């Protein structure tokens, strides 16, 4: 499956979950439901996927985890906040850089319309598929 198709499934699934649940829940509830929705669509999802930090030949298992890794290529970070802040974007970009993934989605579930809470982010150039 092309990575852009994975991204489309993530967006469609997030909208479906948000339509069913609405805003106001904890991000953990949305994460479980999104993982379930993606799974019903045949997608492989790893929740709370470990992310080690490497520095100058040193590997640090400091307990960092990405909320969701979809199809081993796309990172999803879930938030349930009044508004997304630059630090949320910086966090996702750092996770993309550290993981070697280039595509990620920042999802803010605390919006009236889910499409207003979706940020697609890219780090680096995508590989040729």
Domain ranges of the chain: 3-122
Which of 47-83 are b and which e, b meaning 16 or more Cβ less than 10 Å from the residue's Cβ? bebebeeeeeeeeeeeebebbbbbbebbbbbbbbeee
How many CB atoms neighbour CB 117 within 10 A? 23
CA distance 21 to 74: 24
The pTM of the full predicted model, rounded to 2 decimals, is 0.93
Give the pLDDT of residue 86: 96
Residues 72-116: pLDDT tens digits? 999 999 999 999 999 999 999 999 999 999 999 999 999 999 999
- pLDDT > 90: what percent of the chain? 86
Please give the C-alpha separations between residue 103 and each of 6, 20, 79, 92, in angstroms, as whole numbers.
Answer: 10, 26, 17, 10
């Amino acid at each position: 499956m092309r990575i852009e198709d994975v991204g489309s499934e993530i967006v469609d699934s997030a909208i479906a979950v948000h339509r069913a649940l609405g805003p106001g829940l904890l991000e953990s509830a949305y994460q479980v439901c999104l993982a379930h929705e993606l799974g019903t669509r045949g997608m492989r999802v790893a929740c709370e996927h470990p992310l080690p930090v490497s520095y100058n030949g040193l590997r640090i298992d400091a307990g960092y985890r990405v909320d969701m890794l979809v199809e081993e290529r796309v990172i999803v970070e879930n938030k349930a906040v009044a508004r997304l802040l630059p630090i949320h974007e910086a966090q996702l970009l750092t996770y993309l850089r550290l993981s070697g993934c280039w595509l990620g989605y920042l999802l803010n579930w605390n919006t009236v319309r889910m499409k207003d809470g979706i940020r697609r982010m890219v780090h680096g150039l995508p590989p040729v598929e």
